[in-house]
């Protein structure tokens, strides 16, 4: 500390010297003897949470003068010592826990010291407790800590600790999964590329239709099924390098329904039936089918012609193929006049077509 004073009135004789007392806790801890021409004195004192005060007196040939009034109290404070043994104790989700040993406060009271940290050599930030949050999972961080003392309005930034490194991570995210139904198959898809949360994904497993788990790539698809109206499902899970499993995700879909059966009439064998069909457009009904449930049915021949409807085969039994054609015994004329014909098979009317 630099102690300074104004010389007193010499009172008829030159000042021959001074006596400067260093007082702490009400006790004189040191006495210095500045020279006669001095008006300041540098004083080295131990750091202390207690304040120091000073008083001085001068002497000449008449003896010692009175002691001055005490100086204003001043604390013996320097910058705090560096924290030591800084380590990362836990790598958490977007956070790191640290521990360290406090350095010397060097005269500051505990209530006057705060701590700061910086990441990767960046700006200093206030450290509250021992957890540093707001971090990015999977990123490497180099951490340093220092103490900062604020005493009598003066701030002393302390020396920097050793550095410690950490890399935060959290629970891996659930993989994406999808199921898409086709005509006779189902496509099952998975994708765990978005699952890492600070640690790499090492294992991806799927289970199809409730079967056992099997290891697969980070993403992919599997096509299953071989028929209409088949339901299929997939479950997926992933494990990261820290051994953490994601929650399972699942999806399911069904293949499509069978196509609707079709049956329509076309012209078959032309004929001339005296007294029944003689206009030159007469022909037998041919039933054409597609995706039809094959079997023997009662078949009716229909027409919207008002007076020249189909003849014969009304309600007769015929074998109807699944995909093919069969000529019936009924026939029809009046072709080219805009009339429509159709068949009723097993009680169901099917497509109307122009005759």
pLDDT, tens only, 215-270: 999 999 999 999 999 999 999 999 999 999 999 999 999 999 999 999 999 999 99
Residue 243 within any structural domain of the chain: yes
CATH (domain of 145): 2.60.40.10
Q: Which of 169 and 50 is assigned the larger pLDDT?
A: 169
Residues 136/170, Cβ–Cβ less than 8 Å: no
Residue 248 within any structural domain of the chain: yes
Residue 171 within any structural domain of the chain: no
Q: Average pLDDT, stretch 61-69?
A: 95
Provide CB contacts within 8 A for 331, sequence distance 6+: 271, 273, 276, 277, 282, 283, 284, 285, 310, 311, 312
Domain boundary among the residues 30, 47, 76 is at 76
Residue 125 within any structural domain of the chain: yes
Residue 218 within any structural domain of the chain: yes
Residues 266 and 337 in one domain: yes
Residues 105 and 47 in one domain: no
Residues 266 and 244 in one domain: no
Q: How many domains, the chain? A: 4
With cut-offs at 50, 70 and 90, classify the pLDDT of residue 334: confident
Residue 58 within any structural domain of the chain: yes
Q: The whole model's pTM is what?
A: 0.71
Residues 276 and 330 in one domain: yes
Residues 278 and 308 in one domain: yes
Residue 97 within any structural domain of the chain: yes
Domain boundary among the residues 254, 275, 293 is at 254
Residues 309/285, Cβ–Cβ less than 8 Å: no
Ramachandran quadrant class, 278 (left: phi over 0; alpha: psi -120 to 50; beta: rest): alpha
| Radius of gyration in angstroms for the set of CA atoms belonging to the chain, rounded to a whole number | 51
With cut-offs at 50, 70 and 90, classify the pLDDT of residue 314: low
Domain boundary among the residues 140, 166, 192 is at 166
The 10 Å Cβ neighbour count of residue 191 is 17
Specify the pLDDT at position 309.
Answer: 67
Residues 151 and 181 in one domain: no
Report the C-alpha dihedral over residues 152, 154, 157, 158, rounded to 10 degrees.
-40
Residues 147/80, Cβ–Cβ less than 8 Å: yes
Closest to 68 (Cα-Cα) out of 54, 82, 81: 54
Range of the domain at 189: 176-254
């Amino acid at each position: 500390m630099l102690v300074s004073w104004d010389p007193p009135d010499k009172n008829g004789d030159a000042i021959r010297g001074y006596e400067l007392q260093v007082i702490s806790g009400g006790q004189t801890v040191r006495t210095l003897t500045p020279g006669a021409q001095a008006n300041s004195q540098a004083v080295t004192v131990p750091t202390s949470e207690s304040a120091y005060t000073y008083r001085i007196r001068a002497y000449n040939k008449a003896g010692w003068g009175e002691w001055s009034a005490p100086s204003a109290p001043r604390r013996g404070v320097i910058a705090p010592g560096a924290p030591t043994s800084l380590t990362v104790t836990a790598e958490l989700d977007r956070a790191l826990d640290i521990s360290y040993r406090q350095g010397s406060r060097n005269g500051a009271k505990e209530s006057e010291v705060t701590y700061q940290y910086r990441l990767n050599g960046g700006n200093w930030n206030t450290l509250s407790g021992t957890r540093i949050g707001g971090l990015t999972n999977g990123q490497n961080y180099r951490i340093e800590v220092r103490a900062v003392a604020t005493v009598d309005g003066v701030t002393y930034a302390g020396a920097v600790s050793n550095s410690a490194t950490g890399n935060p991570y959290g629970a891996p995210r659930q993989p994406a999964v999808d199921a898409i139904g086709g005509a006779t198959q189902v496509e099952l898809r998975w994708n765990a590329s978005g699952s890492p949360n600070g640690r790499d994904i090492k294992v991806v497993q799927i289970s199809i239709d409730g079967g056992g788990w099997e290891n697969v790539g980070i993403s992919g698809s599997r096509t299953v099924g071989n028929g209409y109206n088949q339901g299929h499902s997939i479950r997926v899970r992933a494990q990261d390098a820290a051994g953490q499993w994601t929650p399972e995700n699942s999806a399911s879909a069904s293949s499509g329904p069978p196509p609707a059966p079709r049956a329509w009439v076309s012209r078959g064998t032309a004929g001339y039936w005296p007294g029944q069909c003689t206009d030159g457009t007469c022909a037998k009904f041919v039933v054409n089918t597609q995706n039809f449930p094959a079997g023997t049915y009662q078949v009716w021949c229909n027409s919207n012609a008002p007076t020249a409807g189909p003849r014969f085969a009304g309600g007769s039994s015929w074998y109807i193929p699944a995909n093919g054609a069969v000529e019936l015994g009924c026939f029809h004329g009046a072709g080219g006049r805009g009339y429509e014909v159709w068949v009723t098979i097993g009680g169901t009317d099917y497509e109307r077509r122009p005759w």
